[in-house]
Amino acid sequence: MLSIIQAAGWPIWPLIACSVLALTLVIERFISLRTSRVAPQRLLAEVLGLTRSALPAPEVVNQLEAHSALGEVLASGLRALNSNPRCSDQDLRAQMEGAGRLVARRLERYLSALATIASAAPLLGLFGTVIGMIEIFGSQAPGTAAAAANPAQLAHGISVALYNTAFGLVIAIPSLIFWRYFRARVDGYLLTLELSADRLARHLQQLRNTRGGAA
């Protein structure tokens, strides 16, 4: 590996930095976008069951908020009702939509950076290719020895050009694949959060209507 880096010349160092950053972002997103941390499967059912008899205490709402991203959205609606039992359905939904936007921003964090790396890596590889071609043609400039008399410099220019092009593609292709994968995963989570918030809002509205009718 060290011999490849030496053969590729100094233009490969920005590509190495991009590869390290891309790998770090991919690992971080895999950890942060786990289902257990974003939208546990049975959490909505547990919250619906918990609110059938009465609104949970503020301590329970705080625990729900710290549980996951979905818990944070659902907790925002419960907290709105705890602070104002006469809260309208529109205000309740607005509270959960606001919390959902904050959660969406966190879920989408670093995705733009990963997309930038996927776009920039081929350009950095092309830059290395241009540097290599400059070295090749520079070795044949007037007043210099012929290319056949300087095969080492010619070979170095070719290696700089080819290695940087290949390394740029090696970084860009996985980065693009992971970016599309995480983008689709986030979109799926956002849909789940939206549907869950709507389900809780309708559930709470039905409970209030039932209790109001019974009263």
For the chain, domain boundaries: 2-214
AA identity, residue 206? Q
Question: 212, 194, 165: which is closest to 8 by C-alpha?
Answer: 165
Q: So what's the pLDDT on residue 54?
A: 82
- Residue-wise over 110-133: b if at least 16 C-beta within 10 A, else e? bbeebbebbebbbebbebbbebbe
With H, G, I as helix, E, B as strand and everything else as coil, classify residue 53. Answer: coil
Model pTM score:
0.83
Q: So what's the pLDDT on residue 190?
A: 96
Q: So what's the pLDDT on residue 212?
A: 58
Q: Render each residue's pLDDT in the chain as its tens digit; 215 residues.
A: 666 666 667 878 899 999 999 999 999 999 999 999 999 989 999 999 988 888 888 899 999 999 999 999 999 999 988 888 888 889 989 999 999 999 999 999 999 999 999 999 999 988 888 888 887 776 665 555 444 446 666 777 777 778 888 999 999 999 999 999 999 999 999 999 999 999 999 998 888 777 654 44
Q: So what's the pLDDT on residue 162?
A: 84
Q: So what's the pLDDT on residue 117?
A: 96
Q: Find out whether 129 and 93 touch, Cβ atoms under 8 Å.
A: no
